[in-house]
C-alpha cells in the first residue's frame, strides 16, 4: 500500500469494509494514501473527491469518516467549494437517502456544514435546500431511534439558522409539529431529542425579524402541546416529550427573546395562563415568569391582571409592588376599589422598601384619580410619614399633588405635616410645597403657613433658605398682608450677602406692598452705594493706565508668539489633511458594515438624526415600522443609518429609494430629499433604461386606491382572485418614480374595469386622478359625502357607489372589512363586463360557483284589470310576484318624477320594474337588474343629458334588452303625469 494512488482502489476498499477491524485497517491504509496525495500533489477532479466523500458517508463508519471527511473538506487547494456548492449540498442529500441504514451507522454532517461556513456558502440556495431535505428525512423516517436522528441532532448547532429564510424554518416547525402529534406523550427518544434540539437552536439562533415572523407557526405548536400529558404513563418520574418542548419554548423563546412582545405573546396567552396553574411546578414557574413580565400590559393579561394583584395582596408576593405603578398607568380601573387593601399590606409589611414603593404607586394614582385615595389611606400615609423619615419625601410629593385637586383631604392634616417638616429640619423642608399648594385652594390658611415658613428661616441652610423665600413669594402673591407682616425679615435678608441674590427677586413685590417712604429710604441707600461705586471707578481708571503700560511691554512677546502660531498653523493644515483622509476611510469602513444602504444614506442620516418634528422617527413610522423597531434603532450610534440598512435589506432598491424620497418631501424635509434626488440624477446614465419593459400578463381589473388603505386593498385583491378575477394594484405605494407611473399607465390601458377605492384622501389625490379613465366601479371605503368633494366629484357623480365598509350588525367575524352582500354586489357588477376565470378558483374556495346564486324571484306587479288597479292608491301594498311588462331605466337626479310615473303606469294596469322598489337587505341589486331586463317586454328609457353619459345606465340598453322606448324627461311631476297615459310602447325595430 505504499504507492496507493488510484481513487477507484480507495473506493473499492471502502465498499469492501466489513466490521470494526476492517475499518481500523482501512484507517491505516488511507493515512498512507492521504500522505501520498499531499506530497506527490496529483490533480484529481472535484468529482473524484466528491465520490470519495459519498463513499465514506455511505459506509456508515465513524472511523472512515473521521480519517477522510475533514482532510478533504478542509483543503481548499483540493476542492474549492465556493465554486461548486451544489456538489457539497449533494452530500447532505446523500445522507438523507440513508433511510434503511443499520442502527449503529454514523453519518457526520457537521464537517459538511463547517466547510460551507468556512467557504461562506452556507447561505447558498443549494445548501439551504440540502439542510431542509436532511431534516425532512430525519423527521419522517420510520421508527424513533434511527441514525438520521442522531445525525441531525449532532449537527444542530452547525446548521446555518441565521441564513435560513422564514419560510424554510416554518417548514421545519411543521415537521416537528407532525412528530409531536404522534409522540407528545412519549419519553425523550432519539426522534424527540432531534425535535427538541432543532427547536432550541431555532429559538436561539434565528434573526430577530425572522423570530417574529415564525411566531404564528410556533404558537400553533405551543397551543397544541400546552394541555397534553406532562409525565410518562409508565414512569411518572420522567417528563414527556411535550413537557420538555414546552420548557424550552418558555425559557428559550418567550422568556429569553419575547417576554414583553405583545404581538408574539398574544396568540399563546391563554395557553400560558393554563400552564400557570397546570400542576407541574417547573412549568408553573416558567409561566409565572412570563405573566409577571407582562404586568405592564394589563390588556394582554386580561383577567390575570386581577390574579396578580390578589397574589400581592393575599399571598405575599411583595416584589410585584415594584411594577404596579406601570400597570396602573395602563389600566387604572383595576385599582379603583382596592387602594385600602394596598394600604393594609403597606402598613403591615416587614420589608422596608414596600412603603416607598407603595408611595410611588399612590403618587401616580394622585395625578389622575385622587378620588381613589380614601381618607383611611391618607390617614395611614400621614402616620407612616410621622414614623419613618425615609418615606416622608415620597408622601410629601403625593400630598402636594392631592392638595391641588382635593385639598379638603389634606388640609385636615396640615399641622401634622408642619410638625414633621420641623422635626426633619433641613432635609424635610421641601415639604412646604404641600402648604403652598393648600394655600392656593384655601386662602384663609395663607397667613398661618407664611408665619410657619418665616419662623423656620433662621434654622435653614442656604439652599433651603432660598426655597423658603420662594415659597414666601408664592404665598405673598395669594395674600399681600401676609408678606407685609414679615417686611423686617426680608430687609434683613436683603442686606445679608449670603441671601442677597435670592432676596432681590422680591424687590418688585416689596415696591407694591410697602409704603413709598420705605421705597424712598431704599433709594437713598442705593445712592450711597452708587457713591462708593464711583470712588472705586476712579481707582479702576488708575489701574487701567498702568495696565496699558504692561500691554505695551507684552506686544513684543506677542509678535514672537504670532510667528510661532504661524508655524503651528502650517503643521495643523498638514494634520487636517491626514484627518480628512482618516475620516474618508472611517466612512468607507462604516459603509461596508452597513452594506445594504446606499452611499447617500449617510448624508441623509446626518440631517434627520437631529431631534425634531421631522426626524428619523417620523420617517420610520411612515415607512411602516413599529415602535419596538424604533426603540431598537435608538440604541445604535447612528439610528437613521441602521433604519436605512434594514429598509434596503428588505425592499427592492429602486422602490425603497423612491419611497424614502417621497416621504421626505411629504415631511417637508426638502434638504434631505435633495440629497436623494442628486444621487439618483448622478446614477441616471450608468445603465440605459429598456423601452420594452412590460408588466407581463396584465389583469383586466385595475384597482385604484390611496396608499393609506393598502392593507385593505391587498385583502380585496386576494378575495377577487379567489372569486376568479385577477387584479392589478400598485404595491409599491410610496415610491417607484417615473417607472412606476409608466407601469400604472400600462395597467390602466390593459384593464377593462377600474375599481376605485374611494376615501377622502383618494378624492383629493392628484395621483389617483391619473388612474381613472376606464369604466369605474366606485367602492366607498369610509363614511363620506357622495359625490366626494374635489376634482374627482364630477367624475364620480355619474356612478352608483358600493358601500364597502361595515356598519353595526354587519360584522363578518373574520379579516374582511366589508359586508357579505356588498362583495356579492361587486361581483355581480363585474360580471356585466368580465366573465370570471374558473381555472383560478380553488375547489375549497368559499366563492366556488358564486355566479350561480340561489334563484331569486323578482318582486313586481303583474298586469291586472285596469279597473282593479285604478282603485289602488297605497304604494306600500304588497306586490304579487311575476315578470314585469315594463323596465324603467333612469338616472337618479329625477327620482321623485320617476316614482310618480311608476305609480301612474301601475294604475293603468302595467306591471313595472323600478330599482328602488326592488332593493332588499342583502340582495344583489345588479343581479336583479339583469333579471328584470331579461324578463321584461319593454325598456322605458327616461333620457336626460346625465343619463346619456352614465355608465350605470348602459346595461339597460344593451343588445340583450327587449323593446326600448325613449322619453324626454320633463322638470315637473304634473306634466309627466298628464302625458304618461299617452306614451306608446313601440318595438325597437318599429318606426315612430
So where are the chain's domains? 1-140, 165-300, 316-506, 617-685, 701-840, 882-953+970-991
Please list the residues that pair with 756 across neighbouring strands: 704, 778
Per mean pLDDT, which range of 175-189, 203-217, 624-638, 931-945 is the poorest? 931-945
The three-state secondary structure class of 159 is: coil
Q: What CA–CA distance (Å, rounded) separates 622 from 167?
A: 27
Mean pLDDT of 255-274: 90
Cβ pair 504, 494 in contact under 8 A: yes
- Average pLDDT over all residues of the chain: 78
Q: What CA–CA distance (Å, rounded) separates 779 from 758?
A: 6
Higher pLDDT, 389 or 945: 389
Among 40-49, 539-548, 731-740, 801-810, top mean pLDDT goes to: 801-810
Predicted confidence at residue 517, as pLDDT, reads 36
Nearest one of 202, 209, 203, 200 to 257, comparing CA atoms: 203
Mean pLDDT of 232-258: 89
Backbone φ, ψ for residue 729 (5° rounding): -145, 155
Confidence of residue 878 (pLDDT cuts 50, 70, 90): very low
Alpha carbon separation from 828 to 723, 802, 890, 959, 962 (Å, rounded): 11, 12, 20, 18, 21
| Angle (CA) 512 517 523, round 5° | 85
Predicted confidence at residue 865, as pLDDT, reads 43
Predicted confidence at residue 736, as pLDDT, reads 43
Backbone φ, ψ for residue 777 (5° rounding): -120, 105
Cβ pair 327, 298 in contact under 8 A: yes
Backbone φ, ψ for residue 963 (5° rounding): -60, 140
| Angle (CA) 149 154 158, round 5° | 125
Does residue 173 register a pLDDT over 90?
yes
Cβ pair 801, 779 in contact under 8 A: yes
Q: What CA–CA distance (Å, rounded) separates 799 from 523?
A: 84
pLDDT, tens digit, for every residue of 60-110?
Answer: 777 677 767 776 776 655 677 888 889 888 888 988 888 888 887 888 888
Predicted confidence at residue 220, as pLDDT, reads 95
Per mean pLDDT, which range of 237-246, 750-759, 792-801 is the poorest? 792-801
Nearest one of 252, 261, 168, 245 to 210, comparing CA atoms: 168
Higher pLDDT, 235 or 513: 235
Backbone φ, ψ for residue 833 (5° rounding): -105, -40
Per mean pLDDT, which range of 71-75, 124-128, 183-187, 199-203 is the poorest? 71-75
Q: What CA–CA distance (Å, rounded) separates 194 from 92?
A: 17
| The three grid cell numbers given for residue 242, joined into one nine-digit string | 411535550
Domain at 882-953+970-991: CATH code? 3.40.50.10140
Cβ pair 726, 837 in contact under 8 A: yes
Domain at 701-840: CATH code? 3.40.50.10140
Predicted confidence at residue 511, as pLDDT, reads 43
Q: Is the CATH code 1.25.10.10 the one for domain 316-506?
A: yes
Per mean pLDDT, which range of 32-41, 254-263, 573-582 is the poorest? 32-41
Cβ pair 750, 695 in contact under 8 A: yes
Q: What CA–CA distance (Å, rounded) separates 711 from 718?
A: 11
Cβ pair 296, 327 in contact under 8 A: yes
Q: What CA–CA distance (Å, rounded) separates 728 from 51?
A: 50
The answer, as to whether pTM is greater than 0.85, is no
- Laid out side by side, the sheet with 727-728 consists of 727-728, 701-704, 753-758, 776-780, 802-803
Confidence of residue 10 (pLDDT cuts 50, 70, 90): low
pLDDT, tens digit, for every residue of 838-866?
Answer: 888 888 888 888 877 665 554 555 544 44
The three-state secondary structure class of 374 is: coil
Predicted confidence at residue 514, as pLDDT, reads 45
Cβ pair 13, 26 in contact under 8 A: yes
Q: Side-chain half-sphere of 861: how many Cα atoms within 13 Å?
A: 27
Cβ pair 706, 765 in contact under 8 A: yes
Same fold for the pair 701-840 and 882-953+970-991: yes
Amino acid at each position: 500500500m505504499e504507492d496507493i494512488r488510484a481513487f477507484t482502489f480507495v473506493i473499492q476498499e471502502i465498499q469492501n469494509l466489513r466490521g470494526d477491524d476492517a475499518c481500523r485497517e482501512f484507517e491505516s491504509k488511507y493515512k498512507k494514501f492521504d500522505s501520498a496525495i499531499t506530497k506527490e500533489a496529483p490533480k484529481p477532479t472535484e468529482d473524484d473527491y466528491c465520490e470519495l466523500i459519498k463513499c465514506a458517508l455511505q459506509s456508515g463508519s465513524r472511523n472512515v469518516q473521521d480519517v477522510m471527511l475533514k482532510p478533504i473538506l478542509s483543503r481548499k487547494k483540493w476542492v474549492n467549494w465556493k465554486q461548486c456548492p451544489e456538489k457539497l449540498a449533494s452530500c447532505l442529500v446523500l445522507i438523507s437517502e440513508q433511510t434503511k441504514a443499520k442502527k449503529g451507522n454514523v453519518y457526520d454532517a457537521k464537517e459538511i456544514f463547517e466547510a460551507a461556513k468556512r467557504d461562506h456558502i452556507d447561505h447558498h440556495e443549494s445548501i439551504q435546500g440540502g439542510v431542509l431535505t436532511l431534516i425532512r428525512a430525519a423527521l419522517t423516517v420510520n421508527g424513533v431511534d434511527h441514525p438520521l436522528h442522531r445525525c441531525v441532532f449532532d449537527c444542530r448547532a452547525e446548521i446555518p439558522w441565521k441564513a435560513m429564510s422564514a419560510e424554510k424554518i416554518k417548514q421545519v416547525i411543521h415537521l416537528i409539529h407532525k412528530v409531536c402529534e404522534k409522540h407528545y406523550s412519549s419519553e425523550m427518544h432519539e426522534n424527540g431529542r432531534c425535535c427538541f434540539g432543532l427547536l432550541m437552536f431555532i429559538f436561539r439562533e434565528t434573526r430577530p425579524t425572522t423570530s417574529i415572523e415564525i411566531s404564528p407557526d410556533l404558537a400553533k405548536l405551543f397551543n397544541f402541546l400546552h394541555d397534553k400529558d406532562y409525565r410518562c404513563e409508565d414512569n411518572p418520574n420522567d417528563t414527556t416529550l411535550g413537557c420538555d418542548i414546552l420548557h424550552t419554548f418558555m425559557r428559550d423563546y418567550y422568556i429569553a427573546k419575547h417576554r414583553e412582545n405583545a404581538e408574539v405573546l398574544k396568540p399563546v396567552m391563554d395557553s400560558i395562563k393554563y400552564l400557570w396553574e397546570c400542576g407541574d411546578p417547573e412549568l408553573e414557574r416558567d409561566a409565572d415568569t412570563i405573566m409577571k413580565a407582562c404586568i405592564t400590559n394589563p390588556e394582554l393579561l386580561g383577567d390575570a391582571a386581577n390574579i396578580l394583584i390578589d397574589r400581592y395582596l393575599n399571598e405575599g408576593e411583595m416584589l410585584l409592588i415594584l411594577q404596579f405603578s406601570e400597570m396602573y398607568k395602563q389600566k387604572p380601573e383595576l385599582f379603583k376599589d382596592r387602594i385600602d387593601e394596598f394600604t393594609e399590606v403597606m402598613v403591615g409589611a416587614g420589608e422596608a422598601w414596600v412603603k416607598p414603593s407603595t408611595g410611588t404607586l399612590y403618587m401616580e394614582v394622585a395625578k389622575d384619580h385622587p378620588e381613589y385615595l380614601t381618607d383611611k389611606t391618607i390617614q395611614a400615609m400621614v402616620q407612616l410619614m410621622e414614623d419613618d423619615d425615609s418615606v416622608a419625601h415620597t408622601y410629601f410629593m403625593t400630598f402636594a399633588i392631592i392638595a391641588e385637586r382635593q385639598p379638603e383631604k389634606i388640609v385636615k392634616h396640615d399641622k401634622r405635616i408642619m410638625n414633621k417638616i420641623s422635626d426633619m429640619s433641613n432635609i424635610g423642608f421641601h415639604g412646604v410645597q404641600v402648604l403652598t399648594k393648600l394655600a392656593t385652594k384655601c386662602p384663609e390658611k395663607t397667613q398661618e403657613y407664611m408665619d410657619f415658613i418665616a419662623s423656620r428661616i433662621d434654622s435653614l441652610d442656604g439652599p433651603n433658605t432660598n426655597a423658603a423665600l420662594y415659597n414666601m413669594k408664592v404665598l405673598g402673591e395669594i395674600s399681600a398682608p401676609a408678606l407685609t407682616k414679615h417686611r423686617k425679615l426680608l430687609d434683613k435678608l436683603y442686606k445679608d450677602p449670603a441671601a442677597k441674590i435670592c432676596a432681590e427677586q422680591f424687590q418688585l413685590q416689596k415696591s407694591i406692598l410697602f409704603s413709598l417712604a420705605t421705597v424712598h429710604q431704599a433709594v437713598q441707600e442705593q445712592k450711597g452705594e452708587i457713591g462708593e461705586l464711583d470712588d472705586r471707578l476712579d481707582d479702576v481708571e488708575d489701574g487701567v493706565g498702568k495696565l496699558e503700560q504692561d500691554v505695551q511691554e507684552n506686544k513684543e512677546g506677542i509678535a514672537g508668539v504670532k510667528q510661532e502660531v504661524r508655524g503651528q498653523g502650517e503643521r495643523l493644515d498638514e494634520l487636517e489633511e491626514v484627518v480628512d483622509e482618516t475620516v474618508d476611510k472611517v466612512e468607507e469602513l462604516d459603509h461596508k458594515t452597513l452594506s445594504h444602504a446606499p452611499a447617500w444614506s449617510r448624508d441623509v442620516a446626518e440631517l434627520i438624526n437631529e431631534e425634531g418634528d421631522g426626524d428619523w422617527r417620523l420617517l420610520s413610522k411612515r415607512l411602516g415600522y413599529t415602535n419596538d423597531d424604533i426603540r431598537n434603532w435608538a440604541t445604535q450610534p447612528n439610528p437613521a443609518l441602521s433604519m436605512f440598512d434594514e429598509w434596503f435589506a428588505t425592499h427592492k432598491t429602486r422602490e425603497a429609494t423612491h419611497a424614502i424620497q417621497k416621504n421626505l418631501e411629504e415631511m417637508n424635509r426638502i434638504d434631505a430629499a435633495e440629497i436623494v434626488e442628486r444621487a439618483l440624477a448622478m446614477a441616471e446614465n450608468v445603465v440605459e433604461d429598456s423601452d420594452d419593459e412590460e408588466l407581463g400578463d396584465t389583469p383586466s381589473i385595475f384597482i385604484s386606491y390611496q396608499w393609506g388603505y393598502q392593507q385593505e386593498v391587498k385583502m380585496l385583491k386576494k378575495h377577487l382572485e379567489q372569486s376568479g378575477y385577477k387584479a392589478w394594484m400598485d404595491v409599491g405605494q410610496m415610491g417607484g418614480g417615473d417607472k412606476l407611473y409608466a407601469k400604472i399607465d400600462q395597467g390602466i390601458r390593459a384593464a377593462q374595469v377600474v375599481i376605485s377605492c374611494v376615501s377622502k384622501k383618494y378624492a383629493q389625490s392628484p395621483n389617483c386622478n391619473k388612474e381613472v379613465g376606464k369604466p369605474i366601479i366606485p367602492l366607498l371605503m369610509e363614511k363620506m359625502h357622495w359625490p366626494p368633494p374635489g376634482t374627482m366629484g364630477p367624475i364620480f357623480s355619474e356612478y352608483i357607489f358600493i358601500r364597502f365598509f361595515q356598519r353595526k350588525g354587519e360584522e363578518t367575524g373574520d379579516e374582511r372589512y366589508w359586508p357579505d352582500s356588498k362583495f356579492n354586489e361587486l361581483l355581480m357588477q363585474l360580471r356585466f363586463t368580465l366573465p370570471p376565470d374558473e381555472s383560478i378558483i380553488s375547489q375549497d374556495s368559499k366563492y366556488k360557483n358564486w355566479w350561480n346564486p340561489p334563484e331569486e324571484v323578482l318582486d313586481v306587479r303583474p298586469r291586472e284589470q285596469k279597473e282593479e288597479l285604478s282603485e289602488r292608491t297605497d304604494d306600500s301594498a304588497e306586490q304579487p310576484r311575476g315578470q314585469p311588462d315594463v323596465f324603467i331605466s333612469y338616472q337618479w337626479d329625477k327620482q321623485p318624477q320617476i316614482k310618480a310615473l311608476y305609480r301612474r303606469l301601475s294604475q293603468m294596469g302595467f306591471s313595472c320594474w323600478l330599482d328602488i322598489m326592488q332593493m332588499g337587505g342583502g340582495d344583489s341589486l345588479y343581479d336583479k337588474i339583469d333579471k328584470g331586463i331579461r324578463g321584461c317586454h319593454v325598456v322605458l328609457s327616461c333620457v336626460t343629458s346625465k343619463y346619456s353619459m352614465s355608465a350605470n345606465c348602459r346595461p339597460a340598453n344593451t343588445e340583450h334588452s327587449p323593446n326600448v322606448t325613449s322619453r324626454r324627461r320633463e322638470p315637473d311631476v304634473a306634466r309627466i303625469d298628464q302625458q304618461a297615459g299617452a306614451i306608446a310602447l313601440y318595438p325597437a325595430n318599429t318606426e315612430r
